[in-house]
Chains A and B, each alone.
Chain A
Amino acid sequence: MEKALRKYFPLFALPALICFSLAFLIPMVWGFVLSFCEFATITDATFVGFQNYVRAFTVDNYFTQAFWFTLGFTIVTVISINILAFALALALTRNIPGTNAFRTIFFMPNLIGGIVLGWIWQVVLNGVLAGFEKTLLSDASYGFWGLVILMNWQNIGYMMVIYIAAIQNVPTDMLEAAAIDGANGRTTLFKIIIPSVMPSITICLFLTLTNGFKLYDQNLALTNGAPNHQTEMLALNIFNTFYSRVGFEGVGQAKAVIFTILVAAIALLQLVATRRKEVEN
């Protein structure tokens, strides 16, 4: 069996490998090469060295501005989504009637696509702000908090499902032992439940962190970066750079490479940091 597996391994891995390289590896390598080129279509590229990387920062400061905005947004959403999702998961693992209905309702926003969500929330938030004769574009902070609300609404349900699964898997003997030892709810939560669900926290932190950095369609539909690029996030800035000027495709590509490295580095750091806190059950 083992021998047969080893013999046919390349054959069975082949289809997946072809797909993976066609849809991921080749574009990624080619994209990296293109970031050093000036090009209009990807087939006629001329090598220009590091010029694109220099231009990414020197032509305007929108990229760095977008970075700080994205960072602020990610920090706020990672904290708020995880706390709220965990709280909901705790509440919905008690024996309250209608738990399943609530779980479904909270999860549903996740099934709607980003652009649609962006439009829905644009209408809702503009409707609310209309009472004050303002819109989402009147001030950058409206756009920021609008995005935070949208992101929470969309992601809390998904993270909640992960937390619910983890909380249900906390061994009941541990909880019973804690109860017999006289631990109150607070102690049980911080000494038993949270350490036990640490692997899920790792996953949820990873997902919310990368989701926050990579956010694009919601940003496009809600404010499109207005006013004055102040609500423009990294992904949107990259897209806009690519199409805003003749000959700037390479600059957009260079920004995309920087962006990939940045997100990968931050996500890895986070994984290493939280993995250390995980305990064996």
Chain B
Amino acid sequence: MKKALALMLIAFIVVSGAFAGGSKEDSGKTEIYFLNFKPEIADVYTDIVKPAFESAYPQYTLKVVTAASNQYQSTLRSELSKSAPPTIFQVNGPVGIAENVNTVAPLQDTDFYNLLADKGMALSLDGNVVAVPYAVEGYGIIYNDAIMRKYFALPDKAVDISSAEEITSFETLKAVVEDMTAHLDELGIRGVFASTSFMPGSEWRWTTHLVNPVLQAEFGDLATAQSAKTFEFKYSKNFQNIFDLYLNNSITPKGMIGSKADADSMAEFALGQVAMVQNGNWAAAQILGTQGNVVADEDIKFLPIYMDLEGEETKGINVGTENYLAFNKNASAEALEGADTFLTWLYSSPEGKEIVTNDLMFITPFSSFSSDEVPNDPLARQVNIWMNKDGVTSIPWVFNGIPSEQWKADFAQAMLEYINGNYTWDQVTATAQDAWAREAELTGR
């Protein structure tokens, strides 16, 4: 008897131990699980958005998890196969949709989708709207106008123009940059451009953003790019123009760029060591947050990326998005309804909109925002100025049509080999072409 009792007791402990954590208290609330993509604003979600939403809608609990930088895809995949998968997740464009065809839910009947000003910006799959963009971003060459003014005041400058705003072609840009390199000491800088960062994981400014104008010139729009079986790299020479300009007038010698991360480049700009850096409005926080930042808000401005493409004097900065939200169709109906409620609240209620503008700092594509409800950081304001500039059209983001991550990796490595002196530019071009053809086939184009 005693033995049997002991036996049962042990069995009980073992079983309860094995299943501990499996049971959960049912509080009667519906959980909305949002898997956040942007680590730089993770705290805003947990500290501001979550309490505000939960007090406005007490029947819901909001769970926000943020994936580590550059780890979103892998985090999303492992989270999706769990028993409590995310309700709302982010996709980076058509390629992201293709990765999640079995997960994305139709959104055309949601209030959230109806907020979208230009319905054409949403992504569709088999006639259903499945992803809605939530933030528009712009990038170009960020410059420090104080240094530029100093340059244009030089008595022996080699150009006739007298302000950075007058730069509207690659030719002028090149003349200015090279002359600035000749006057580094007078300008008090150590290089015109910040480091061309090539530390592993920091190549994205070149493999996606810098190649975008070239992709746009060749394919025209995203739809063409995302179905393209081959990439001719017709404007390879133009890409090389600007890439060489970055490399040859940089604060960092070519041999050293492998040790520079994109954060280093932003720090160099913030510390006034360089005059220009290629990046987007999301980098405002990085510049303003650098300790010892010497750049005044009003001196942070955008210049389009000129590379001698035809008609580029009428082109502005690159404006678009790779931030789309999708719903998980495997989530419960209540959770999906909650997700719609949450996002509609965030992007249309006065309280939510204030958080979006001031704390999340998004320029949104929603009709619920008026034109003066934009974030107050200098680069967001610049994006707005460039989007509304007369005689200039923004370059749309076409790089979302790049067939796979592997293409970006191969292209980045070819560029690195070019910098190391092991590849000619023709080999870089060939790598980009071959890799595109291979990846397009492998991904079923």
Binding site for B on A (CB under 8 A): 11, 14-15, 18, 40-44, 59-60, 122, 126, 130, 132-139, 223-229, 240, 243-248
Q: Which residues of B contact A14 (CB under 8 A)?
A: 14
Of the A-B pairs whose beta carbons lie under 8 Å apart in the complex, a sample of 27, sorted by A's number, is: A11-B7, A11-B10, A15-B14, A18-B18, A41-B77, A43-B81, A44-B102, A59-B438, A122-B259, A133-B255, A135-B257, A135-B258, A136-B258, A136-B259, A137-B198, A137-B420, A138-B258, A224-B200, A226-B413, A227-B422, A243-B405, A244-B406, A244-B409, A245-B404, A246-B404, A247-B443, A248-B442
Q: Which residues of B contact A132 (CB under 8 A)?
A: 255
B73: min CB distance to chain A, Å: 6
With A59-B438, A135-B259, A136-B258 in contact, do A246 and B95 touch (Cβ < 8 Å)? yes
A41 to B11: give the CA distance in the assembly, Å: 34
A60 to B18: give the CA distance in the assembly, Å: 44
B416-A226 in contact (CB<8A): yes
Q: Which residues of A contact B405 (CB under 8 A)?
A: 243-245
Q: Which residue of A lies closest to B97 (CB)?
A: A246
A139 to B10: give the CA distance in the assembly, Å: 60
Query: Could you give, for residues 161-186 of chain B, a 1 whenever the CB lies within 8 Å of some chain A CB and a 0 otherwise?
Result: 00000000000000000000000000
A191: min CB distance to chain B, Å: 49
With A15-B17, A243-B73, A246-B404 in contact, do A138 and B255 touch (Cβ < 8 Å)? yes
A132 to B255: give the CA distance in the assembly, Å: 9
A130-B256 in contact (CB<8A): yes
Q: Which residues of B contact A11 (CB under 8 A)?
A: 7, 10-11
Query: Could you give, for residues 248-281 of chain B, a 1 whenever the CB lies within 8 Å of some chain A CB and a 0 otherwise?
Result: 0000010111110000000000000000000000
A258: min CB distance to chain B, Å: 20
A226 to B420: give the CA distance in the assembly, Å: 12
A245: min CB distance to chain B, Å: 4
A245-B439 in contact (CB<8A): yes
Q: For residues 283 through 324 of chain B, which have their beta carbon under 8 Å from a beta carbon of chain A?
A: none
Q: Which residues of A contact B43 (CB under 8 A)?
A: none
A228-B255 in contact (CB<8A): no
A11 to B13: give the CA distance in the assembly, Å: 12
Interface residue B98 (Cβ < 8 Å from any Cβ of A): yes
Q: Which residues of A contact B17 (CB under 8 A)?
A: 15
With A133-B253, A245-B439 in contact, do A228 and B414 touch (Cβ < 8 Å)? yes
A238: min CB distance to chain B, Å: 13
Q: Which of B100, B201, B406, B414 has the most CB of A within 10 A?
A: B406
Interface residue B354 (Cβ < 8 Å from any Cβ of A): no
A136 to B257: give the CA distance in the assembly, Å: 10
Interface residue B99 (Cβ < 8 Å from any Cβ of A): yes
Query: Could you give, for residues 423-445 of chain B, a 1 whenever the CB lies within 8 Å of some chain A CB and a 0 otherwise?
Result: 00000000000000011001110
Interface residue B80 (Cβ < 8 Å from any Cβ of A): yes
B202: min CB distance to chain A, Å: 10
Q: Select B404's contact among A136, A223, A225, A244, beta carbons within 8 Å.
A: A244
A245-B10 in contact (CB<8A): no
With A223-B200, A226-B416, A246-B95 in contact, do A134 and B255 touch (Cβ < 8 Å)? yes
A246-B258 in contact (CB<8A): no
Binding site for A on B (CB under 8 A): 7, 10-11, 14, 17-18, 73-74, 77, 80-81, 95, 98-100, 102-103, 198-201, 253, 255-259, 404-406, 409, 413-414, 416-417, 420, 422, 438-439, 442-444
Q: Which residue of A lies closest to B76 (CB)?
A: A41
Q: Which residues of A contact B406 (CB under 8 A)?
A: 244-245
A108 to B438: give the CA distance in the assembly, Å: 47
A139 to B258: give the CA distance in the assembly, Å: 10
Q: Which residue of B lies closest to A126 (CB)?
A: B259
Q: Which residues of A contact B416 (CB under 8 A)?
A: 137, 226-228
Q: Select B256's contact among A40, A59, A135, A228, beta carbons within 8 Å.
A: A135
A139-B420 in contact (CB<8A): yes
A132 to B256: give the CA distance in the assembly, Å: 9
Top 7 A-B residue pairs of the complex, sorted by shortest distance between their CB atoms: A137-B258, A224-B200, A135-B258, A41-B81, A133-B255, A244-B406, A126-B259
A240 to B74: give the CA distance in the assembly, Å: 11
A118 to B199: give the CA distance in the assembly, Å: 14
With A18-B14, A228-B417 in contact, do A246 and B98 touch (Cβ < 8 Å)? yes
B111: min CB distance to chain A, Å: 29
Q: Which residues of A contact B81 (CB under 8 A)?
A: 41-43
B169: min CB distance to chain A, Å: 33
A248 to B100: give the CA distance in the assembly, Å: 13
Q: Which residues of B contact A138 (CB under 8 A)?
A: 255, 258, 420
Q: Which residues of B contact A15 (CB under 8 A)?
A: 14, 17-18
Q: Select A130's contact among B103, B259, B413, beta carbons within 8 Å.
A: B259
Q: Select B258's contact among A59, A226, A229, beta carbons within 8 Å.
A: A226
Q: Which residues of A contact B99 (CB under 8 A)?
A: 40, 246
Q: Which residues of A contact B409 (CB under 8 A)?
A: 240, 244
A128: min CB distance to chain B, Å: 11
A124 to B225: give the CA distance in the assembly, Å: 42
Q: Which residues of B contact A122 (CB under 8 A)?
A: 259
Q: Which residue of B lies closest to A22 (CB)?
A: B18
Q: Which residues of A contact B100 (CB under 8 A)?
A: 40
B365: min CB distance to chain A, Å: 26
Q: Which residue of B lies closest to A240 (CB)?
A: B409
Q: Which residues of A contact B413 (CB under 8 A)?
A: 226-229
B443-A245 in contact (CB<8A): yes
B438-A40 in contact (CB<8A): no
Q: Knowing that A228-B414, A247-B444 are A-B contacts, what are 5 other residue pairs whose CB atoms are under 8 Å apart, sorted by A's residue number?
A: A130-B256, A133-B255, A137-B199, A226-B258, A243-B405
B256-A134 in contact (CB<8A): yes
With A226-B413, A227-B416, A244-B406 in contact, do A40 and B77 touch (Cβ < 8 Å)? yes
A246-B102 in contact (CB<8A): no
Q: Which residues of A contact B253 (CB under 8 A)?
A: 133
A40 to B420: give the CA distance in the assembly, Å: 37
B256-A226 in contact (CB<8A): no
